[in-house]
Structure 1
Amino acid sequence: MAFKVPRTKLGSQGLEVSKQGFGCMGMSAFYGPPKPEEEMIDLIRQVVACGVTFLDTSDLYGPFTNEILLGKALKGIRHQVQLATKFGISFQDGKVTVRGDPAYVRACCEASLKRLDVDCIDLYYIHRVDTTVPIEVTIGEMKKLVEEGKIKYIGLSEACASTIRRAHAVHPITAVEVEWSLWTRDLEKDIVPTCRELGIGIVAYSPLGRGFLSAGAKLLESLSETDYRKLGQPRYEIENLQKNEKLFIALCQLATKKECTPGQLALAWLQHQGDGVVPIPGTTKLKNFKENVGSLQVELTSQEIQEIEELFHVDAAAGGRYYESDNTTYINSETPPLSSWKC
């Protein structure tokens, strides 16, 4: 690929990554059956060869198998990659458990290092915030991991603005990972300004609305019966889907004017949100990856950005991100005060 993927500083702590990252979750979990290992290893290596070097995984994906896959794929090219993984969520007896106590933090890190077969994790996230443990306690243990050379930088995922501030006071936070796309913009009120103020980078997961902003309603036709998007997404319910499809059609019309695909336009909008904003679209197909990277060449004027944002205003999407029963307690979470903690 002749086009050179640009680089950006992610936060103000020194981490530099590709302007677009790569989410690896769908290779192993949630989006139907796991994909063939050798094919996915080959895809990851092609992604890195193309200049997208910021790779995102978690111990949750599989669980564990996605980290093992990444470990195999990075043999011989580890030095080219900025590797991010997460801890904090587990499934037990069909229920979600979120933990951030020190012993669990350390055990998860040691296990991820082993599965990834690396000496150090570049960016280590709290995947979800434990609402029973003060964030200062969790970050305190992660700070020790930095001091021991097991991780380089610390990140948060789905934390509210006050939690971000409290965490940053214990140890500088490099990045906050959040769901951010044209149809998920509520974070722009508090979380984005807080990150800007503190010099924290923003990593946007599901930047294509879990595929909807690339394919629209027809996406559902290609999904397996075990795909999470078919089983548990309010925005894909029939009534909501019909409303959201109208948004997608309008996005397609704007993309036609720009001579790009709707997915590229959606990614380009995010990539025009300022320095240190890095979307991490995921795919299992090289064709889709090349389309996503092509978005980095789509230039938008301030007028075009305004037009897109007027269409996809904060309340434009029909349906919530998750059902209320899906442990939404852990979305943009707060934790108890440090004074409540008893070792």
Structure 2
Amino acid sequence: MLQRKLAGRLVSEIGLGCMNLNHAYAKKVDQATATSLLTKAFEAGVTHFDTAALYGFGSNEKMVGEAIKPFRQDIFLASKCGMTGVNGKRTIDGHPATLKATLDTALTSLQTDHIDLYYLHRIDPDVPVEESVGTLGDMVKAGKIGAVGLSEVSAETLRKAHGEYPIAALQTEYSLWTRNAEIAVLDACKDLGVDFVAFSPLARGYLAGGVDPASMGEGDIRKGMPRFQGDNWAANQQLYADFASLAASADITPAQLAMAWVLAQGEHIHALPGTSSEAHLIEDLQASGLQLPPELLVKADELINRQTVKGARYPAGAQADIDTEDFADE
């Protein structure tokens, strides 16, 4: 597994997002399955693991904490605050007291005395980002976290927050079919020396194949996403068929081509796929270090991009909670 620098430390260029274990998708795994998956990832070279207070409304951090216990000191652990589950509902709260309490709970759940990278998961419109970030900076000084990150924010917000306390990393969705980061955030990260973590590099499974909206169970967030619905999905299916043929021409899987494309977009970019399948995990990790012809990546870029993909990234309600830039035609 090749490595890249994240928050001042060398970590695997492909990490593992742990949300899929028990949040946002219909399939949920038990502790034994989660422990086996995370152990397999570590043995395969993954040293970057990512969770959040929101996932499973707190249970994901507990699951991850138990799974990584034997190798906690050998990995880079990231989690998030500012968005949690309160009385069964997702709640965005960036007030200092809430962030401090969320962090203390996370440390207990993760069975650790520090978290290497702690993101503000969403911007609370009722709390200046400087206030939230300043609180996290205090937690760095207290030794509870190693570095501060932001999730799903605009370049303007990143610069504002960075002026209050150094932001080590920014995490947002980025893949062939979601290009919003290319508007301004990727350049802002490069200018400020902020590492970029691309979640959903496989487009929520679309670029890995085998996705069927008709068979998605209750609680699968993709059912509410326009790209997986109706005529949009029919058009996107045809795009995927062409993409799969392109990958086959290079004797790699579509998932590996998609991951390689993300990693090729900059040395400050990390890929953070998520899965509950050990087979998919190993397939994804094999994208590290692939030496692909530049023209293959160009063809992938030309085939799947914001002009060719049909449908909005999020439904209106979810879109309202994020701070990322939009294209003029979205």
Instruction: Give the TM bin, normalised by the shorter chain.
Output: over 0.9
Report if the CA contact (8 A) 1:211-1:219 is conserved: no
Q: Which residue of structure 2 lines up, in the alignment, with residue 9 of structure 1?
A: 5
Report if the CA contact (8 A) 2:58-2:85 is conserved: no
User: Offset of 1:64 from its aligned partner?
Assistant: 0.6
Q: Which residue of structure 1 lines up, in the alignment, with residue 218 of structure 2?
A: 225
Report if the CA contact (8 A) 2:178-2:305 is conserved: no
Deviations 1:240-269 (A, max 9, x none): 001111110111111011110111100010
1:138 aligned partner, one-letter code: S
Report if the CA contact (8 A) 2:275-2:281 is conserved: yes
Q: Which residue of structure 2 lines up, in the alignment, with residue 341 of structure 1?
A: none
Q: Unmatched 5+ residue regions in structure 2?
A: 326-330
The reply on whether 1:29 has 2:31 as its aligned counterpart is no
Deviations 1:2-21 (A, max 9, x none): xxx111112xx512211100
Residues in 1 aligned to 2:287 and 2:306: alpha-carbon distance in whole angstroms: 23
Q: Note the aligned Cα RMSD (angstroms).
A: 1.6
Report if the CA contact (8 A) 2:177-2:309 is conserved: yes
Deviations 1:90-124 (A, max 9, x none): 34466542111111111111110011010000000
1:241 aligned partner, one-letter code: W
Size of the aligned set, in residue pairs, is 325
The reply on whether 1:311 has 2:307 as its aligned counterpart is no
Q: Unmatched 5+ residue regions in structure 1?
A: 334-343
Which of 312, 315, 326 does residue 318 from structure 2 map onto? Answer: 326
Which of 207, 216, 232 does residue 240 from structure 1 map onto? Answer: 232
CA 74–149 in structure 1, closer or farther in 2 if over 3 Å, else same? same
Residues in 2 aligned to 1:94 and 1:57: alpha-carbon distance in whole angstroms: 19
Q: TM-score, normalised by structure 1?
A: 0.91
Residues in 2 aligned to 1:82 and 1:94: alpha-carbon distance in whole angstroms: 30
Residues in 2 aligned to 1:163 and 1:58: alpha-carbon distance in whole angstroms: 21
Report if the CA contact (8 A) 1:89-1:99 is conserved: yes
The reply on whether 1:132 has 2:126 as its aligned counterpart is yes
Q: Which residue of structure 2 lines up, in the alignment, with residue 51 of structure 1?
A: 45
Report if the CA contact (8 A) 1:130-1:330 is conserved: no
Q: Which residue of structure 2 lines up, in the alignment, with residue 81 of structure 1?
A: 75
Residues in 2 aligned to 1:46 and 1:54: alpha-carbon distance in whole angstroms: 13
1:129 aligned partner, one-letter code: I
Residues in 2 aligned to 1:219 and 1:299: alpha-carbon distance in whole angstroms: 31
Q: Which residue of structure 2 lines up, in the alignment, with residue 290 of structure 1?
A: 282
Deviations 1:182-202 (A, max 9, x none): 100121020100001001111
Q: Which residue of structure 1 lines up, in the alignment, with residue 328 of structure 2?
A: none
Percent identical residues: 36
Residues in 2 aligned to 1:76 and 1:326: alpha-carbon distance in whole angstroms: 37
Residues in 2 aligned to 1:71 and 1:93: alpha-carbon distance in whole angstroms: 23
CA 234–208 in structure 1, closer or farther in 2 if over 3 Å, else same? same
